[in-house]
């Protein structure tokens, strides 16, 4: 039998989610676990009778541990004891963090822990996190609690030098971690399960030691505590030492017990065998080595760098008003700029300032009553949740984001974490400010997609504080005319109510393509660029031009630039979907396709008249994850996109990682020159399983949808690479195989590439930077990084000549320019892929121009002396 566990919460979805998460930690027999949460009508609350029934359900004679979230849940649990059919049943209601405590209790119960051990493990569930963050409690009471926890869990995280002298190490072994995310929750749970079995069989305690990342101390965690193990913060390639220990008293007893005859040698041998089993499990990678974890790519680095102190104190918005008059106001694409939503627009800037001021940290003259402040906080949280839940949002995706913010505001951990601060005399507003500011700072420091969630936390903080203090809640400016919004980032609840008729563009200080802001901006067609430098320099009232395709932000654009942007935006808004033949005016066939990253992009592309997709960026499936998408997850994502292209062309690019899109699970941590390093197809040399899993998923999605995909590999430089990829793709049943031509090396052997593949697609962004030997992220070299460079145009012309009429596409930003797109057709390109919004404009331009005119303009541009001259000559010939 096993100790039973009951989770009591005000929120049924929260309790069920915590239960499901906890049970994922267990691979073997699960302990009895019941949920008593919410009210009968689906609302928030707790019911003593339901708690009593849950306890009776899991009680089997070994005792029951009850975890509660807060307030009345404790009262309901205590009252439930009076209703139990067996008044002598052993039930422990523990003061433990709800989620972490439940995970710890479930794992310890599953490994055979007694009711006391399960209860103590739950109560100590935060110690690993507190130690890792340097926030261990210093009071004597807290120290005693930690001592009890350490006693039962073999010195959780104690420095090695401070271990008890009575502990005797019998055997140890060091192993290098191969799974990308190290000993995170699931591997830690597997270790706990095995350690529990070995502990039962041998009586030994098992620990794992690793170097602390910040202090350099060697820290130790008991393998029976998955939270302690996970809190070591290990990663791939870290070395950890597994040890089996016993106490001096047990060793002496073993020597004295003649019936057992357990001498030291026998103990050491048994310990070594047990340690070997644990090391073998670690060395196997826990099954994760085949599904490497994904990093956040370019976005997280920019977001973290944009505001290293995000959430760590009062937000101080830069107004731009202090800009030195001698400093040039004009700004173009900067090294850290990222285009996150397509479009080219211009308007007056409006800065979004956080209207909520930080509550004073100094105690009030009269100490607030903790009970009163607790009630104030709960009432404010309830009001904010109600405001969010009743907000009218028409877009389903936006509505889901607002709902998620409401759930975050309703999280019972907020008042739970604020309670100790209220108890020492802080006001409700100060307590919640500190709790959520610390949480936002931790999110920002973590990087990746978690860093993007810091904005959500700060938004909830500001809304609660505004409700408590009577300040206006944060919100979008309403100047009454079209404007460019300038903000560090937008909270999802604000982004969801953006009006694209007035907010036509955004300049953000942090964020990225996977942030809520970017998702909604793309859905609404609002041009957006993340540019920390431009964000700092723009003042309310500045005229700004935003180009989400090229990631350019112009402060004080010329009249000509403003006119062009307005015409472009108006044309896009007014143009009907492209319905004309995908061909030149003389009938030369040119595919007009859309670049997509997800199903919503595909739907928009079809709506705007695209005849398929020329670039399905599969890397968006990998960004911001702590584990790589499984085969089934990828099949689902790819199928959702392909569903929109039944009977149409669908070009899928395999994972394009590296350079400005680093993913830690396939790209080196530190490369001298990432642009010339391990990127694109080259990542498959060391991680072939990532590519093969993706090809399996693409093939399965094709079979499920009936679509025949064209699959291509990025960053191919040699004929050998092309042949290898083609062979691998066809082994998976994918017959239409191509490669990206992004280097001069590949461009010059295009004819040889076609001996192994069916098509090529030109990545004009990379082809330009490699042809011009100019990093496209280097601001000072921006003048070189334009596809209008005559050298680049000649390189494309050579690709067209060597292809000799076979399929040649362009899927870089060059294809979205109606003038340049026609020049590309004249150079031999017969497939153009662009952002969905540009499809009507480019499609119509091509359809109204003859192939002969395209060729004349292309030749003139190639013979020009400069990029500007090339554009001018093309414009003169094509109008």
> pLDDT tens, 216-264?
667 788 887 765 777 676 777 788 899 998 865 555 554 544 444 456 6
Burial of 529 (0-12, 13-18, 19+ CB in 10 A): buried
- Band of the pLDDT at 623, cuts 50, 70, 90? low
Mean pLDDT of 491-512: 77
Q: Is the CB of residue 343 less than 8 Å from the CB of residue 377?
A: no
Active site residue 516: yes
Residue 8, SS3 per DSSP: strand
For 15-63, list the strands marked E by DSSP: 33-37
Asked if residue 485 lies in contact with residue 495, where contact means CB atoms within 8 angstroms, the answer is no
Other Cβ atoms less than 10 A from the Cβ of 736: the count is: 19
Average pLDDT, the chain: 80
Q: Which of the residues 149, 184, 503, 811 is marked catalytic?
A: 811
Taking CA atoms, 152 is separated from 4, 114, 145, 203, 285, in Å, by: 19, 11, 11, 13, 28
Tell whether the torsion through CA atoms of 213, 219, 222 and 228 is positive or negative: negative
For the sheet containing 503-508, what is the strand order? 338-341, 527-530, 503-508, 483-487, 344-351, 543-547, 552-555
The span from the CA of 619 to the CA of 593, in Å, is: 19
Q: Is-contact 237 221, C-beta < 8 A?
A: no
Instruction: In whole angstroms, give the CA distance from residue 499 to residue 478.
Output: 10
DSSP letter string, 147-169: HHHHHHTTSTT-BGGGS-TTEEE
pLDDT at residue 747 tops 70: yes
How many Å apart are CA 293 and CA 234, to the nearest integer? 14
Q: Which has the minimum average pLDDT: 257-266, 522-531, 681-690, 729-738?
A: 257-266
Q: Exposed/middle/buried for 314, CB within 10 Å: 0-12, 13-18, 19+?
A: exposed
- Give the span between the Cα atoms of 681 and 706, in whole angstroms: 27
Give the three-class secondary structure for 482: coil
**78-92, 531-545, 652-666: the lowest-pLDDT one:** 652-666
Q: CA geometry: angle at 869 spanning 864 and 874, to 5°?
A: 85
Would you state the pLDDT for residue 457?
87
Residue whose pair of structure tokens reads 């004679």 in the numeric block: 61
- Whether the per-residue pLDDT at 398 is higher than 80: the answer is no
Write the pLDDT tens digit of every residue in 637-670: 999 999 999 999 999 999 887 665 666 666 666 6
CB 318, CB 487: distance < 8 Å: no
**Which pTM was predicted?**
0.48
3-class DSSP string for 221-244: EECCCHHHHHCCCCCCCCEEEEEE
Whole-angstrom distance, CA of residue 475 vs CA of residue 493: 9
Query: Looking at residue 327, what is its pLDDT?
Result: 40
Q: Which domains does the chain have, with CATH numbers?
A: 1-125 (3.40.50.510), 151-289 (3.30.1340.10), 307-355+476-570 (3.50.30.10), 370-469 (1.10.274.10), 593-878 (3.20.20.60)
Residue 441's SS3 state is helix
pLDDT at position 341 is: 78
CA dihedral 707, 713, 714, 717 (to 10 degrees): -150
Q: Return d(Cα 264, Cα 244) in angstroms, integer.
A: 13
Ranking 282-286, 691-695, 773-777 by mean pLDDT, the lowest is 773-777
The answer on pLDDT for 330 being more than 70 is no
Look at 248-262, 412-426, 671-685 and tell me which has the smallest mean pLDDT: 248-262
Mean per-residue pLDDT, 837-863: 95
Query: What is d(CA 17, CA 20) in angstroms, rounded to the nearest whole number?
Result: 5
At 298-313, the pLDDT tens digits run 333 333 333 333 333 3
- Residue 736 is classified by DSSP as E
- Is residue 732 part of the annotated active site? The answer reads no
Pairing state between β 239-247 and 205-211: antiparallel
DSSP-based three-state secondary structure for 283: helix
Which pLDDT does position 4 carry in this prediction?
A: 93
* CA-wise closest residue to 621 among 715, 701, 548: 701
pLDDT digits (tens, 9 = 90+) for 120-173: 888 878 766 666 566 655 543 333 333 333 333 333 333 333 344 467 888 888
Please pick, among 10, 149, 184, 516, the residue that the annotation labels catalytic. 516
% of the chain residues with pLDDT over 70: 76
């Amino acid at each position: 039998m096993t100790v039973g566990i009951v989770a009591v919460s005000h929120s049924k979805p929260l309790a069920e989610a915590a239960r499901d998460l906890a049970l994922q930690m267990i691979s073997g027999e699960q302990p009895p676990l019941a949920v008593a949460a919410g009210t009968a009508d689906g609302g928030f609350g707790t019911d003593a009778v339901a708690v009593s029934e849950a306890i009776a359900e899991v009680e089997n004679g070994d005792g029951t541990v009850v975890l509660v979230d807060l307030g009345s849940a404790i009262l309901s649990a205590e009252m439930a004891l009076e209703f139990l059919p067996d008044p002598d049943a052993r039930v422990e209601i523990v003061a433990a963090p709800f989620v972490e405590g439940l995970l710890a209790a479930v794992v310890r119960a599953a490994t055979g822990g007694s009711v006391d051990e399960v209860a103590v493990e739950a109560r100590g569930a935060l110690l690993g996190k507190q130690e890792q963050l340097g926030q261990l409690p210093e009071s004597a009471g807290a120290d005693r609690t930690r001592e009890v926890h350490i006693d039962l869990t073999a010195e959780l995280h104690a420095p090695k030098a401070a271990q008890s002298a009575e502990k005797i190490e019998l055997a140890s072994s060091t192993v290098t971690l191969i799974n990308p995310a190290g000993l995170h929750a699931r591997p830690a749970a597997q270790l706990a399960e095995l350690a529990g079995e070995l502990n039962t069989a041998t009586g030994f305690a098992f620990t794992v030691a690793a170097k602390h990342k910040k202090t350099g101390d060697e820290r130790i965690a008991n393998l029976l505590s998955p939270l302690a193990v996970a809190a070591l913060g290990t990663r791939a390639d870290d070395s950890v030492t597994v040890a089996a220990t016993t106490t001096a008293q047990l060793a002496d007893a073993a020597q004295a017990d003649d019936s057992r005859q357990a001498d030291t040698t026998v103990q050491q041998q048994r310990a070594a065998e047990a340690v070997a089993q644990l090391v073998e499990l670690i060395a196997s990678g826990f099954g994760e080595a085949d599904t490497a974890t994904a990093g956040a790519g370019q976005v997280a680095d920019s977001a973290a760098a944009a505001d290293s102190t995000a959430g760590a104190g009062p937000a101080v918005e830069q107004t731009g008003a202090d800009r030195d008059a001698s400093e040039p106001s004009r700004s173009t694409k900067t090294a850290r700029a990222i285009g996150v939503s397509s479009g080219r627009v211009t308007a007056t800037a409006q800065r979004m300032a956080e209207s909520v001021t930080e509550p004073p940290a100094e105690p009030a003259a009269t100490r607030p009553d903790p009970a009163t402040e607790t009630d104030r906080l709960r009432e404010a949280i309830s009001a904010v949740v109600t405001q969010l839940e009743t907000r009218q949002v028409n877009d389903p995706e936006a509505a889901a984001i607002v709902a998620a913010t409401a759930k975050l505001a309703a999280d019972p951990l907020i008042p739970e974490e604020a309670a100790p601060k209220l108890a020492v005399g802080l006001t409700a507003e100060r307590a919640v400010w500190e709790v959520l500011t610390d949480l936002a700072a931790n999110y920002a420091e973590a990087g990746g997609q978690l860093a993007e969630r810091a904005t959500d936390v700060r938004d909830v903080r500001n809304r609660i504080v505004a409700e408590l203090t009577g300040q206006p809640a944060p919100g979008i400016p309403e100047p009454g005319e079209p404007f460019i919004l300038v903000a560090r980032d937008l909270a999802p609840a604000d982004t969801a109510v953006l009006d694209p008729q007035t907010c036509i563009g955004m300049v953000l200080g942090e964020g990225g393509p996977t942030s809520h802001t970017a998702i909604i901006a793309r859905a609404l067609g609002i041009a957006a660029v993340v540019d920390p430098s431009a964000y700092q320099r723009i003042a309310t009232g500045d005229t700004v031009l935003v180009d989400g395709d090229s990631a350019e932000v112009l402060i004080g654009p010329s009249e000509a630039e403003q006119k062009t942007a307005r015409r472009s935006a108006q044309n896009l808004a007014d143009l009907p979907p492209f319905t004309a033949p995908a061909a030149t005016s003389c009938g030369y066939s040119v595919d007009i396709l859309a670049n997509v990253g997800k199903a919503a992009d595909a739907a928009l592309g079809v709506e705007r008249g695209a005849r398929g997709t020329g670039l399905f960026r599969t890397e968006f499936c990998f960004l911001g994850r702590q584990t790589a998408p499984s085969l089934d997850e990828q099949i689902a994502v790819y199928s959702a996109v392909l569903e929109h292209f039944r009977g149409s062309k669908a070009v899928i690019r395999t994972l394009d990682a590296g350079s400005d899109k680093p993913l830690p699970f396939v790209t080196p941590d530190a490369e001298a020159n990432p642009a010339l390093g391990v990127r694109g197809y080259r990542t498959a040399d060391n991680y072939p399983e990532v590519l093969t899993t993706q090809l399996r998923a693409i093939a399965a999605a094709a079979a499920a949808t009936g679509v025949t995909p064209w699959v291509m590999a990025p960053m191919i430089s040699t004929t050998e690479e092309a042949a290898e990829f083609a062979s691998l793709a066809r082994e998976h049943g994918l017959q239409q195989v191509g490669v990206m031509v992004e280097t001069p090396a590949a461009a010059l052997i295009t004819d040889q590439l076609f001996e192994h593949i069916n098509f090529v697609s030109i990545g004009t962004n990379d082809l330009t930077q490699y042809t011009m030997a100019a990093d496209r992220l280097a601001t000072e070299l921006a003048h070189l990084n334009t596809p209008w460079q005559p050298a680049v145009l000649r390189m494309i012309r050579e690709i067209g000549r060597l292809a000799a009429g076979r399929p040649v596409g362009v899927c870089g930003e060059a294809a979205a320019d109606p003038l340049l797109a026609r020049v590309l057709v004249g150079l031999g390109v017969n497939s153009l892929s662009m952002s969905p919004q540009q499809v009507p404009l480019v499609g119509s331009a091509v359809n109204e121009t003859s192939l002969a005119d395209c060729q004349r303009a292309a030749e003139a541009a190639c013979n020009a002396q400069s990029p500007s001259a090339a554009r001018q000559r093309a414009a003169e010939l094509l109008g």
